[in-house]
Amino acid sequence: MGISATQLEIIDVAPRIGSEIRTDVETLLSGREAPRIREVLEQRGVVYFRGLEISDEQQVAIAKTLGTTVATEGEGGIYKISLDSTVNKRAQYLKGSLFWHFDGSLQPYPNLATVLHAIKLSDAGGQTEFCNTYAAYDDLPQSDKDLIADLRVVHSAERSQYYVTPEMSYEEVSFWQNSPTKVCPIVWQHQSGRKSLLLGATADYVVGMSVEQSRALLARLRDWATQPQYVYRHEWQVGDLLIWDNTGTMHRALPYAADSGRLMHRTILAGEEPLN
């Protein structure tokens, strides 16, 4: 047939994180560039495709070329990200997404990656910021690497809800305390040999540290990891398909109104690597 395969065109959009990939829907659906896309995703933390005009089914099909999709939430592998509780019953929980976090911090395995498709945007706000937690770890002074090498952190949904509702009622606290907590290392030693930081809004306290020391350390490390040189801010256009490596980045949405209509369709790729 003589049809030559479309090459991926890769444009780095910030020095340490984020690449736009230009290609076409057929190439993505074929899966023939999937290994390369996964490689770029791991190296760059965030990749996005612009102007593809894909359907929900195509979003899921593209995700399946990259890994194992998680179908536990959302019809047909698509989960609706909205802060409007008439669109998503878990809107209150999702308000935690306005603060730095990684997805699946409370799950047995953190997700490998998250795929977000911009369906409708807010008039104001609603950009998404990402930071590269591999690069942030690499650049830490050796004294900090030594300090945090074996530290573990208890993550909880309750903790992230204090960001959303600082003065929670007893009922609210009790409700969120019903969600299971999880202990994660601060330093994730990947099978590849690389290391990334695990922090974020669900990070409640460092095991074995005083409350004050623990809060100070978590804030200091988050400040470090979210410095401008590690951050890419995505200015969404309708139709963007964006993927982040959830094992080596944190992200947050910038504030937008719950009734703005902003809607993202999310597909999750299952984690492939346990935490140490």
Name the residues that contact ligand OGA, by CB under 6 A: 81, 97, 103, 114, 116, 128, 251, 253, 264, 266
**Could you tell me if 221 and 186 are in contact, meaning their C-beta atoms sit under 8 angstroms apart?**
yes
**Could you tell me if 112 and 247 are in contact, meaning their C-beta atoms sit under 8 angstroms apart?**
yes
The one-letter code for the residue type at 54 is I
**Closest separation between CB of residue 97 and Mn ion, Å?**
5
- Alpha-helical regions (H) of the chain: 25-30, 34-44, 56-66, 91-94, 133-139, 142-148, 157-164, 170-177, 211-225
Task: Tell me whether residue 16 or residue 251 sits nearer to ligand OGA (CB atom).
Answer: 251
Task: State which residue has the least CB distance to ligand OGA.
Answer: 253
- Please list every residue from 39 through 98 that binds Mn ion, using CB under 5 A: 97
Length of the chain: 276
Task: Tell me whether residue 140 or residue 242 sits nearer to Mn ion (CB atom).
Answer: 242
**Closest separation between CB of residue 103 and ligand OGA, Å?**
5
Task: Tell me whether residue 32 or residue 233 sits nearer to Mn ion (CB atom).
Answer: 233
Which has the closest alpha carbon to 249: 198, 203, 206? 198
**Closest separation between CB of residue 196 and Mn ion, Å?**
16
Query: What is the C-alpha to C-alpha distance for residues 253 and 270, in angstroms, rounded to an integer?
Result: 22
**Could you tell me if 248 and 102 are in contact, meaning their C-beta atoms sit under 8 angstroms apart?**
no
Task: Tell me whether residue 28 or residue 268 sits nearer to Mn ion (CB atom).
Answer: 268
**Binding residue (CB under 5 A) for Mn ion from 103, 204, 240, 245:** 103
From ligand OGA, Mn ion, none, which one binds at residue 128 (CB under 5 to 8 Å depending on kind)?
Answer: ligand OGA
Interface residue list for Mn ion (CB under 5 A):
97, 103
